[in-house]
Amino acid sequence: MRKGKQKFLKTVRCLQLITTLFIYHVFADDAAIMAELAKGFSNAPPGWSGNTPCKWTGVQCDSSGRVISIILISKSLSGKLPSGLNKLSSLQSLNFQRNQLLGPLPSLSNLTSLREVYLDGNNFTSVPPDFLMGLTSLQTFSIGENLNLPPWTIPNTLADSTALVSFIANKANIAGEIPDIFGSFPSLQSLRLSYNNITGGLPPSFAESGIQNLWLNNQIAGLSGGIDVLGAMSQVTQVWLHVNKFSGPIPDLSGCKSLFDLQLRDNQLTGVIPPSLSSLPELQNVTLENNLFQGPVPKFPAGVQVTDGSSDGKNSFCNTSPGPCALQVTILLQVAGALNYPSALAESWKGNNPCQNWRFIVCDSGSVSVINFGNQNFPGLISPAIANLTSLRTLDMHANKLTGSIPATLTSLTKLKVLDVSNNNLSGKIPEFAPGVSVKTSGNPFIGIELPPSFPPGNASSGPIDKAKASVSPWIIVVIIVVAVIMVVVLGFIVYRRYYVKKQSREYKSAKGSKNGKTSLEGDSDAISSDLPSQMDTENYDFHFSDGISVAIPIEVLREATNHFSEQNILGEGGFGIVYKGQLHDGTQIAVKRMESSFMNKKGLGEFRAEIEVLSKVRHKNLVALHGFCVNGNERLLVYEYMPQGTLGQHLISWQERGTLPLTWKQRLSIALDVARGVEYLHGLANQSFIHRDLKPSNILLGDDMRAKVSDFGLVKIAPDGKHSVETRLAGTFGYLAPEYAATGRVTTKVDVYAFGVILMELITGQKALDDAQPEEKAHLVTWFRRVIFNKDEIRSSLDPSLRPDEETFKSIWKVAELAAHCTARDQHQRPIMGHAVNVLSPLVEQWMPGSDDEEEDSFGIDLNMSLPQALQRWKANEEMSTNSDLLTDTSPEFTSTPQLPSRYTSSFS
């Protein structure tokens, strides 16, 4: 008993000793940093001497002797702050307001206890790249009045500070755009960025924050775009947007019940002042002068201080005092409102008489007789209010970006002689005008067609058609008629082929059943089978793959193409089975994924079905193309385009064993961008959003030009939208699994972003995501990478040895490294979308490989050289052709088919 007690006491003393040594070591670190801080001051504060910084003026420590607060306000301090200030790991408050400190700002990265930072009113000269990274407890940040800072941008890593309440950086030389990260700050109250050089527009995420004080006034180059997001900022109390370049109308502010101060002067805002503004209960101050506001002068309640520019002509109001506008002015402003109040109208539409030098307007005897908006590139709708201009003879709105339909109310204009709405994006029925009215509607591809809401014509054209195209409008009509005839012929062929396929299938199954001594009963008229029996003559049958053509691939053809699935033809092996290389009679090379019969459980069938369904709906140059598939008894096979250079993993990890050259940095950049574009397309489909779930180097295939395509869609999930998650069984590959997915089984598109970040790390280091051959600290690539990302020297020493970059190349690598760290943030909300990755990588690729992206495609991977009639023809064909869902569950002994035309055109117009 006594021995046990002695042993216990020894253990306690040992622990006490270890704790004491630890506290002494940490305290010594704090003391060393504080000594550097004191040494950096040219005139240290009184009392800053000795070895106990906890007793120094303005310094506060906790009970264990750790420095938690440094507050030195207006002490006339000069000198520099030490770079190691972020080693004060318990620091909670840092305040050097109104001194004369200069030199570089110290990094504050990973000070997870830091809540307050006040550095305003100094002369700092640079901002480190990791300045605000990992400040998870930050609530107040103030750096204003630092006029010597070089241009710097608000980093996306600020999103780590989810408890942020106040961010103040007036006169701090901030440049670039405001990052769209404000959904991360539910407690944010003050954002003050006045007198900087910020450009761009207001980020949509402002609507998701709790901002009360918004100061963005007096930007040197000027913020621009609309201010619609203000209408969704229900907690805002003070808005300073004056002296910028904002345009468009003031939104409905009826939800901003607490707004008391609105400064909008000196912008380019247009439109009528909304009644909701003057009805706000707390409003006290409003400035509106030096804009292009139209309509009546607003009337505010007594007690509200207003400068609206009505008396000195610094707006375009119809009068100089409150009161209604003339009837014709009111009608024309409704017309302008349907066009979102273009600046071109507001600049000249002043006063209360449209017959006095109003641009685009012609009058006769004091009444509007001509409206000529031709070739002005105006977006928007044709306003039904035009019907109230009863003397109108000519309405010319050709060559704009108009959408919607022609209002039927225009038929009531008894004096109308000319209606020209040609070369727009109008749709719907053409109203029946009087016989004497010349109606021009050519150049509107969808005119006369009632389009569903999911097929808005506004996206069908990139803009107005120029006069040269307008001059050949009769030929456009001829082309449309020819295309329509072709559609009818193709439609008839499809109907005939469906009937013929079903008929042949019934006959074939019946014959096969009779041959086996059984009777085949076909009760389901919708059942579809192959019209090519397996005994067909494969010697004389060549397959040519192209869009929109169904090709049936019998098992015999695939057996012959792969030399009866010989081992010499094996390209790779996965959990589903084996991939074989094959060659058809015409020389076309294919890759055949053969799913073994032992894998044909519910999970295997589900993954087979997922791959078919996804690749039937999507097509992009950076997604591997599916040519067809085959169901043979209990066996399933998928036929892909062949990618001769194998997988990215082979070129990164085992290039020496394969006897190939290592990937250059140019090639790695190009591959990263290809993958980002492919995944961005999956995430950004107009009708559906797909989540890959198994993005990794072995699922990235390379062509002879070393351009990459994403493959293996067996684990793809359909997400309801970009913001919500899907609960699913855990699948994927360890090392690439996002932490929230591994923990909860719920996925969003951000799990693919995480995996993409891991791939970027592999491209940089040449190491695997998980590698037991590495030292323990480097075995998990992401964990190690996060530790060293702030140290350029360590990153440089850890690069793939085959890269050997010069200084210019390393700058590019460093940017990709920062993107990799951003993509693998622990919190999914702090990861960017794939579109951000594309935007980061595109200029880097362009820098290294200018003009390399020679394929004309839009963001959906659609061939922009295709004519609109061709696109419509394909869209129509896709709508008419049946889906393959019935084929996937067919249990007949043998069945083959290919996917129908991808629905990419439907998506592109929605």
Binding-site residue ranges for ATP: 593
CA distances from 316 to 271, 325, 347 (A): 9, 12, 7
Joined tokens for residue 658: 């394969």
What residue has token string 């295939």? 701
Q: How far apart are CA 79 and CA 123, in angstroms?
A: 10
**H helix or E strand, kind and range, residue 29:** helix 2-40
Quickly tell me which residue has 């993993």 as its tokens.
Answer: 649
With residue 484 as reference, give the H or E element that holds it.
helix 473-515
**Apex CA 759: angle with CA 133 and CA 810, to 5°?**
65
User: What span, in angstroms and rounded, lies between the C-alpha atoms of 524 and 887?
Assistant: 13
Query: DSSP 3-state assignment of 239?
Result: strand
Q: For the chain, how many residues are written?
A: 910
DSSP state for residue 323 in the 8-state scheme: S
Is 417:438 a contact under the CB 8 Å cutoff?
yes
Q: Phi and psi dihedrals of 331, rounded to 5?
A: -65, -45
As given in the structure block, the two tokens for residue 136 are 């998870």
599 contact partners, CB below 8 Å, separation of at least 6: 575, 576, 577
- Which residue of the set 130, 694, 712, 752 is catalytic? 694
User: Rounded CA gap, 553 and 561, in Å?
Assistant: 11
Nearest 5°: CA angle at 847, between 846 and 850?
A: 50
The SS3 assignment for 279 reads coil
- The C-alpha atoms of residue 334 and residue 67 are separated, in whole angstroms, by 64
**Of the candidates 181, 140, 165, 92, the residue with the CA atom closest to the CA atom of residue 825:** 181
DSSP classification of residue 782: H
Cα 343 from Cα 247, distance rounded (Å): 8
Is 694 among the residues known to form the active site? yes
Residue that has been written with the tokens 């980061």 in this structure = 840
Give the Cα separation of 399 and 121 in Å (integer): 54
Residue 370 φ then ψ, to 5°: -140, 130
Cα distance between residue 608 and residue 595, in whole Å: 8
Just list the catalytic residues. 694
